[in-house]
Chain A
Amino acid sequence: MALPLTYNWKNLFVRKSTTVLTCLIIASVVGVLTWLVGFKSSLDRSLSFANDRAKIIVLKQGSTSETNSAIAPEDANKLTQLQSLAVDAKGEPLKSPEMVVQVSLPRKRDNGVTFANVAVRGVTDTAFAVHPNIRLLSRPFAQGQLEVIVGVQAAKQFGGLEVGDVVQLGYGGNRGFTVVGHFSANGAPVESEIWGPLTVLMSSYSRTAYSSVSLRLRDGVDAKAVVAEIEGPAIEMTGKTESDYWTEQTSNIRIYMMIVGVLVGIMSIAAIFAIANTMYASVAGRTREIAMLRTIGFTPNQVLLGFLYESVFLSLIGGVLGLLACAAWLSLAGNTKDMFGSNTFTTMGFEIRLGPAIVVKALGAVAAVGLLGALFPAWRASKLQVIKAMREA
């Protein structure tokens, strides 16, 4: 017969103050850990929706992002020679010339104290065939009109982008474009952008060159081969698959995540020591009790397991508290974040959400912390010399 779990559970309440303090230590660490895991997985989630394998972004040779790339229309025509493009109903190859500029808009989360650089993308109707993940939540903009549609994330995070609002675009910021609708993209980074008609936007910014051309490949075509062809002597441009492009843009965020991760790691180790401390005290305070358990027939392994259970219980209570604290913080302080791409100079908004996967990860981590912390104290308890312990005061 194993030690009943209620025995361990009730033990936690014998030393209330220590239990509470230890729980709070764990809760603090888990709170930060959850925030971090939430941040990272929200970012990864957003990027995971930007890995369309059949899409290639073409930039000017040598440039690193759409923001600093300029492709003259006659150069863009060179892409027509690619044999591997998908075609639309009329037999036209699916290539979408796009121009990316930016507009400075107030951030909602600090009531417009700081401004964010939001990407504005001029596109033709072909764009919607090249980017099939775009889902319009209302009507699209009309080509030739001063109209734009806005990604749901941009509308949520930056001011003045509700349907019916007029957003001032153009080189001088003096052309009012009416927001006619919102669009979603399954959470991909384009949800932070504003889309409008290509020709109107190009003339508003007095630009004659595109920023990039997005291509949709035929089914079964190897994207790498197409990239090689684009970079080859006949075309001489830079081609990137969608996932490569976005992975590059997040390289600076990843360094940042790594640093925060190391700090949280250090705090987790501290939590292990804090638990070990508590468990050692618990073992020391219950020497005679343990000896009693051994005398009535519980094996050393059962005693060991009992203490491990106890510690895991303790950690999980702390973990749940930490999760709740993190959730409360996110709902009070806001869960919106936006970050620059490494080279884009435009910002990418995302929301930190605590999904089931994050809860499982955080609680898994905390259970591991509890186990590690209790390992040595529990081992010591199981190795107790029964006779000696019984004799102890």
Chain B
Amino acid sequence: MTMGYIVLQNLRRNRLRTALTLVAFALPMGVFVLAISLLAALIEIGNMNERELRLGVHHKVTLINLLPDAMRRKIEALDPERKRLTAVCGMRWFGGKIPEEPAPIQSLAADADTFPIVYSDAGMTPEDIEAWNKDRQAAVVGYGVIEQYKQKYPDFKLGGRVSLKSSVPPYLELEFHIVKVIEKANRAQTFYFRRDYLTESLKEAGVDSPKCNIFWVKCNGADELRELQTAIDQEFSNSADETKSEDENAFAASFTQALGNLPGLMNAMAIVVLVIVGLVAGNTMMMSFRERTRELGVFKAMGFPPIRIFTIVLSESVMLAAIGAIIGIAPVWIGLTFYPLPKLGVLPIASLKASPAAAYISLIIAIAIGAAAGFWPAYQAMRLRTVDALRRVA
């Protein structure tokens, strides 16, 4: 009679209870793996952004205020030898939407010459860069945008021609040619195109405004980024266009708050879920311990050493937790693999995808919770006095 056999037999004896516990354990574990998958995805995006060492320079009052594009030269002039910065890319918000759709796509006009350098994480090959440079209407589009629209609008694909109407005055409608699809999660939801195309089109519409909302400065290192952050804001202080410089993650944090702080909520959710599954497992183990006190007494009378009794009860709890976790994690995993959420297109949920790390962590945490929940009943079982146990009536 092996350990595993005893544990399995115990779980099979009160099948109803085992089933109920498994469901009560599996459902919150499903929520847990979802929550931490999202957190993992966001942390990954944060790390990616941090590695890219980009400093965003925008107007101090609000991002909406436009900065003159001559500012790019001034920023570059702060470091003529390019010791601290690699390149500067000016960007202007276009907020283009497919005319039939309600929500605008995150679309930005970027300086054509520096975009491939500052956004080297877009992964543009020399051929991509050539296509981008040659074609005035070139657009580099995140996979999230493609996923979201490709079914309804088949032109959303590599090489497709799409037309977007700006949601900011003068509401230009421009045609673009998708020359590259970005596969990186941190750029999944953005649609980039050339700023010279926008500036010329604006001019044709009678608006002579070669201006930017933000300049992204690619820095050579983390220290250089901090130095430049101070230097740039100092350079433009007391001018008509005072700036505020932030690294990419600080820039994103203000938006995260305004989008309901989903990461914070998921964090809280994950903690509550852990409490719940811990209690579910603990409850079941207490119940089955109580009902089996006499049986454990028999084991003891037969000469099972206390540590063995301890292990039997603990293993049962751990096994219950592990099975429950797998039942909860697997469907979420399969669901995320076959239905990637970028189709929903809402940030930051869209960055959610099946992450092996999240699944492993969930499983390990579940097992740890099973062990913690089984500890007290197991300890009590070990300490049981054989005579008392045999005398006890359930």
Residues on A lying within 8 angstroms of B by beta carbon are 15, 17-18, 21-22, 24-25, 28-29, 31-32, 60, 62-64, 67-70, 101-104, 107, 110, 113-117, 168-174, 209, 248, 251-253, 255-256, 259-260, 263, 266-267, 269-271, 273-274, 276-278, 280-281, 284-285, 337-340, 342-343, 345, 347
A172-B240, A253-B260 known; A28 vs B280 contact (CB < 8 Å): no
| Secondary structure type dominating chain B contacts | helix
Chain B CB count within 10 A is highest, among A15, A63, A263, A343, for A263
Cross-chain contact A172 with B61 (CB below 8 angstroms): yes
Cross-chain contact B291 with A285 (CB below 8 angstroms): yes
Cβ-based interface call for B74 (8 A): no
A25-B280, A31-B272, A102-B64 known; A70 vs B169 contact (CB < 8 Å): yes
Chain B residues closer than 8 Å to A280, beta-carbon distance: 16-17, 20
Cβ-based interface call for B258 (8 A): yes
Cβ-based interface call for B297 (8 A): no
What's the minimum C-beta distance from B3 to chain A, rounded to whole angstroms? 25
Specify which of A17, A25, A117, A285 is in contact with B286 (CB 8 Å cutoff): A17
A103-B61, A276-B20, A339-B260 known; A64 vs B276 contact (CB < 8 Å): no
Chain B residues closer than 8 Å to A255, beta-carbon distance: 344, 346
Specify which of A17, A25, A171, A285 is in contact with B276 (CB 8 Å cutoff): A25
Cβ-based interface call for B42 (8 A): no
A267-B273, A278-B283 known; A110 vs B257 contact (CB < 8 Å): yes
Chain A residues closer than 8 Å to B31, beta-carbon distance: 263, 266-267
Cross-chain contact B20 with A68 (CB below 8 angstroms): no
CB proximity to A under 8 Å, residues B28-54: 28, 30-31, 34-35
Encoded as 1 (CB less than 8 Å from any A CB) or 0, chain B from 344 to 367 comes to 101001000000000000000000
Specify which of A103, A115, A337 is in contact with B260 (CB 8 Å cutoff): A337
Cβ-based interface call for B2 (8 A): no
Residue of B nearest to A270 (CB): B27
Cα distance A114–B249 when bound, in Å? 11
26 A-B residue pairs with Cβ-Cβ distance under 8 Å, sorted by A, are A18-B286, A22-B279, A22-B283, A25-B279, A28-B279, A60-B169, A64-B104, A64-B167, A101-B62, A104-B63, A116-B254, A251-B102, A251-B103, A252-B103, A256-B349, A259-B349, A260-B265, A263-B35, A266-B31, A270-B27, A270-B28, A274-B279, A276-B20, A278-B283, A280-B20, A284-B291
Specify which of A115, A259, A274, A345 is in contact with B283 (CB 8 Å cutoff): A274
Cα distance A259–B283 when bound, in Å? 29
Cross-chain contact A104 with B62 (CB below 8 angstroms): yes
Cα distance A184–B283 when bound, in Å? 50
Cross-chain contact A338 with B64 (CB below 8 angstroms): no
Cross-chain contact A338 with B65 (CB below 8 angstroms): no
Cross-chain contact A270 with B63 (CB below 8 angstroms): no
Chain B residues closer than 8 Å to A103, beta-carbon distance: 61-62
Cross-chain contact B253 with A18 (CB below 8 angstroms): no
Chain B residues closer than 8 Å to A25, beta-carbon distance: 24, 276, 279-280, 283
Cα distance A63–B24 when bound, in Å? 48
Cβ-based interface call for B262 (8 A): yes
Cα distance A306–B254 when bound, in Å? 53
Cross-chain contact A340 with B258 (CB below 8 angstroms): yes
A28-B275, A171-B240, A340-B258 known; A63 vs B346 contact (CB < 8 Å): no
Chain B residues closer than 8 Å to A22, beta-carbon distance: 279, 283
Cross-chain contact A68 with B167 (CB below 8 angstroms): yes
Cross-chain contact A62 with B165 (CB below 8 angstroms): yes
Cross-chain contact A104 with B61 (CB below 8 angstroms): yes
List the 4 shortest-distance A-B pairs measured between CB atoms, nearest first.
A173-B61, A270-B27, A273-B24, A21-B283
What's the minimum C-beta distance from B67 to chain A, rounded to whole angstroms? 11
Specify which of A68, A101, A209, A339 is in contact with B258 (CB 8 Å cutoff): A339
Cα distance A155–B21 when bound, in Å? 49
Encoded as 1 (CB less than 8 Å from any A CB) or 0, chain B from 14 to 25 comes to 001100110111
Cα distance A24–B242 when bound, in Å? 53
Specify which of B60, B257, B286 is in contact with A21 (CB 8 Å cutoff): B286
Residue of A nearest to B253 (CB): A114
What's the minimum C-beta distance from B177 to chain A, rounded to whole angstroms? 24
Cα distance A338–B260 when bound, in Å? 7
A62-B165, A171-B65, A173-B242 known; A273 vs B291 contact (CB < 8 Å): no
What's the minimum C-beta distance from A93 to chain B, rounded to whole angstroms? 26
Specify which of B65, B282, B346 is in contact with A252 (CB 8 Å cutoff): B346
